[in-house]
Chains A and B, each alone.
Chain A
Amino acid sequence: MSLLDMMTTILHSTIVYSTPLILAALGGAFSERSGVVNIGLEGLMTIGAFVGAIAAIFIGETTASPFLAGAAPWIALLLAALVGVVFAIPHAVASVSFRADQVVSGVALNFLAIGVSVFLVKKLFDGAAQTTTIQNPFSKVGIPGLENIPYLGKALFQAYPTSFIVFGIVALTYFIFYKTPFGLRLRAVGEHPKAADTMGIRVERMRYFAVMISGALAAMGGALLPLTITNSFTHNTITGQGFIALAALIFGKWHPVGAMGAALFFGASLAIATAGQVIGLAAYIPVDFLQMVPYVFTILALAGVVGRAEAPKAIGKPYEKGVR
């Protein structure tokens, strides 16, 4: 394999690996910019992966119409988002209304997600801990014209349609955060809820919205794993991607574009780690160190070694009317 081919492969897998991370990190951005810590991203991704896989398999097995079969991954993705919204509600209720510890609530959500999804998989597939293979996952598409560029075309412009859409969602999130009243309110609630409250913004309602949007985005991110990468769901389809997304959010300084950059960077380290085993890079750098990159860099960012990451001011603090 020539060096150029290798770079092409790595760039391409970077995009594939990063897409789910970007979605989940954006989900985290909504929740955390509103002041609610979301350790539950991992669980939301798990439930999304489960729903996505089950829906795609079910539609694929029952439908005869080729149109519906083609639409299966899209329907699965939307269902995952819907279930993600519902699944995020317990986290919102506990941490916004009941003022429970947001980290504890997130941990409980992670337990609940893995418990419910694996329980149902075993129930639906006669005791097997793994779903059958998805027959209609997303297939790659090329952008006409651009995909014919040598190397670069194959690396960047032939991908799952969801990858292209995700970059659109990043732009949309940026627009919502910084150019709309909704975004301004969301950020205000996360920085200084009392001031926001004084201005007539309903703090609790904003936080409910934020956590629910975060559920939709993280679950879609999770659904992309079975629908683009693994083609099935097991108990370890989601192992740590939610926490890497959380890391990307922090490393990207809680900014949607920053989070995207960080997710791409972490995705690249995973792609190199995977490709490294194939192309013999492992002889020079142990693959393990590449796998560590997301976690080490996040700690460095928090410690201020690579640009200081500052959390939203009111993060983790429940808001109570009329308390100093």
Chain B
Amino acid sequence: MNFLDRLKGLSTLWIAFIAVLLGMLVGALMMLLSGFSPIIGYMALFDGIFGSLYDFGETVREIIPLIFTGLAVAFAFRTGLFNIGVEGQFIMGQLAAVYVGIAYDLPWYIHAPFAVLAGAMAGGLWAALPGFLKARLHVHEVITTIMLNYIALILANFLIRTYLKGPSERSLDVLPSARLIWEPLSALFDDSRIHLGIFLGLIMAVVFYLILWRTTLGFELRSVGLNPHAAEYGGIPVQRSIITSMVIAGGFAGIGGASEALGVYGYMAINAAFSGVGFNGIAVALLGANHPVGVVLAAALFGGLRYGSTNMQHEADIPTEVITIVIAVIIFFVAAHVAIQWVLDRFQKGRKGVKA
């Protein structure tokens, strides 16, 4: 086994690990250069995540939306689509869930699931449009989903302000029957805002796996992702697959929005800018190699980093943005790694060709 083979043999897990390590290293360098101690910084970070039961519960709260947005990006990736529109699909999911939570008065065992379902449908429908444009008119989904993010943000603000306006710059409160809070769970983590969305997220990761690897539909979607021309030749309806994939991906994002609105806040705020949860989903999906297990692990990592970073600022005066830099560097390295592996693949193919 020569060096190149050995490099290729590195598992995805190892490469992700190396990317994270390099990212943390750049973060440490950034801290050093600006006169902070990286050791104190990272200890404050660690303490911020695991310091107390309350902190751990809040860390999980930060992780939950990233699982959904990561799944939403990863699912589309598997079908060869780049879903940058998770931000908007998440917003539409929030909006629909909050609407159902306010407008209907139902027993909790119907109300909460109904609100979540509404979120899934809203997210799915919002993603259907770029899917349709891609399938029928060959409009690239990256641009349309970016534009739809902004349209979703502005539209949601308008609808809340016009129809659901609460006392301040936010919607009315959702009825308690629609909330995804489970008292014993919150009490277990010292009354932090951990909520049932975590179970919903883990279930969705399983659903992600089952759809893609255990159904005919999943086989078709993956085939389109690997080679749309071959898939078409094999009789797979490519256009329909593209739309279906976007709808399912948007559905994951929509459930994420619903879980955030019903679990954490109980209302939806009027926002001037994006929360960034959708863009972070891209980082989660990339680091998680578009696999549900990887997505959950990457969400846990990024969620932990993001929540822990507030303690860095609190305890060591280190700006939380150092974690944004770490995440950016991780994305760069993961992206470059894909390129390296691809180059190695080519190289090997070339050599095999010579041997034959």
Distance of A123 Cα from B151 Cα, bound (Å)? 35
User: Contact at B339–A122, with CB atoms within 8 Å?
Assistant: no
User: Which residues in chain A, 157-198, are within 8 Å of chain B measured between CB atoms?
Assistant: none
Inter-subunit contact A243/B273 (CB<8 Å): no
Stretch binding the partner chain, chosen from B135-143, B178-186, B187-195: B135-143
**Known A107-B84, A115-B327; further 9 A-B contacts with Cβ < 8 A:** A103-B84, A111-B324, A112-B325, A115-B323, A119-B322, A122-B321, A123-B35, A289-B158, A299-B144
B13 interface contact, C-beta 8 A: no
Q: What does the 1/0 interface line of A291-324 toward B look like (CB < 8 Å)? A: 1101110110011100000010000000000000
Binding site for A on B (CB under 8 A): 30, 34-35, 82, 84, 133, 137, 139-140, 142-144, 146-148, 150-151, 154-155, 157-158, 162, 272-273, 279, 282-283, 286, 313, 317, 319, 321-325, 327-329, 331-332, 335-336, 338-340, 342-343
- Contacting pair A292 B146 (CB below 8 A): no
Q: Please tell me if A101 contacts chain B, counting CB pairs below 8 Å.
A: yes
A98, B336: Cβ atoms closer than 8 Å: yes
The answer to whether B325 touches A119, judged by C-beta atoms less than 8 angstroms apart, is yes
> In the bound complex, do residue B282 and residue A104 qualify as a contact, i.e. CB atoms below 8 Å apart?
yes
Whether B142 lies near A39 (C-beta < 8 A) is yes
Please name all residues of chain A whose beta carbon is closer than 8 Å to the beta carbon of B140 when the two chains form the complex. Answer: 302, 311
Contact across chains for B328 and A111 when beta carbons are under 8 A apart: yes
- How many A-B pairs fall under 8 Å by CB? 137
The contact sample of 10 A-B pairs, CB cut-off 8 A, is: A100-B335, A100-B336, A108-B329, A111-B279, A112-B332, A114-B321, A239-B272, A288-B157, A295-B151, A299-B144
Within the complex, the shortest CB–CB distance from B333 to chain A, in Å, comes to 9
Q: Produce 1/0 per residue, A74-101, CB < 8 A to B.
A: 0000000000000000100010001111
Instruction: Tell me whether chain A's interface is mostly helix, strand or loop, or mixed.
Output: helix
State A101–B282 Cα separation when bound (angstroms).
12
The answer to whether A94 and B332 touch (CB under 8 A), given A299-B133, A302-B143, A311-B140, is yes
Contacts of A240 in B (CB 8 A): 150, 273
Please state if A105 and B332 are interface contacts (CB–CB under 8 Å): yes
Which of B158, B323, B332 is close to A108, meaning CB atoms less than 8 Å apart? B332
Judging by beta carbons under 8 Å apart, are B327 and A111 in contact? yes
Q: Which residues of B contact A103 (CB under 8 A)?
A: 82, 84, 142
Q: Are B317 and A127 in contact (CB under 8 A)?
A: yes
A243 cross-chain contacts in B, Cβ below 8 A: 146-147, 150
Does the CB pair A116–B325 fall under 8 Å?
Answer: yes
Contact B139 A303 (CB under 8 A): yes
* Pairwise interchain contact A119-B157, C-beta atoms closer than 8 A: no
For the complex formed, measure the closest distance between the CB of B158 and the CB atoms of chain A, giving whole angstroms: 4
* Interface: A120 (CB within 8 A): yes
Instruction: Assess whether A288 is in contact with B158, with CB atoms less than 8 Å apart.
Output: yes
A111-B327, A299-B148 given as contacts; is B84 within 8 A of A98 (CB)? no
Q: Which residues of B contact A118 (CB under 8 A)?
A: 319, 321, 324
B279 surroundings in chain A (CB, below 8 A): 107, 110-111
Interface size of A as a range: 35 or more
* Chain B residue nearest to A124 in the complex (CB): B34
Question: Is the Cβ of B155 less than 8 Å from the Cβ of A288?
Answer: yes
Contacts of A114 in B (CB 8 A): 321, 324
Q: Choose one: A104, A123, A246; the contact of B319 (CB below 8 Å).
A: A123
Task: Write the chain B residue with the least CB distance to A127.
Answer: B317
Please indicate the chain B residues that have their CB under 8 angstroms from the CB of A107 in the complex. 84, 279, 282-283, 331
User: Do A111 and B147 touch across chains, with their CB atoms under 8 A apart?
Assistant: no
Which of A115, A240, A292, A294 gathers the greatest number of chain B CB atoms within 10 Å?
A115
Which residues of the partner chain A approach B321 to less than 8 Å between Cβ atoms? 114-116, 118-119, 122
With A101-B335, A299-B148 as known contacts, state yes or no: A292 contacts B155, CB within 8 Å: yes
Q: How far is the CA of A105 from the CA of B82 in the complex (A)?
A: 13
**Residue A236 at the chain B interface, CB threshold 8 Å:** yes
Q: Does A155 contact B (CB under 8 A)?
A: no
A116 to B321 CA separation, bound complex (whole angstroms):
7
Q: Assess the A111–B283 pair: CB atoms within 8 A.
A: yes
Question: How distant is the Cα of A111 from the Cα of B287 in the complex, in angstroms?
Answer: 15
Q: Closest B residue to A126 by CB, please name it.
A: B317
Q: Which residue of A lies closest to B280 (CB)?
A: A111
Contacts of A239 in B (CB 8 A): 272-273
A287: nearest chain-B partner, CB-CB: B158
Closest B residue by C-beta to A105:
B335
Q: Give Cα distance in the complex from A120 to B142, angstroms.
A: 31
Is A225 in contact with chain B by the CB < 8 A criterion?
no
Complex Cα–Cα for A175 and B103 (A): 59
* Bound form: Cα–Cα A103–B162 in Å: 36
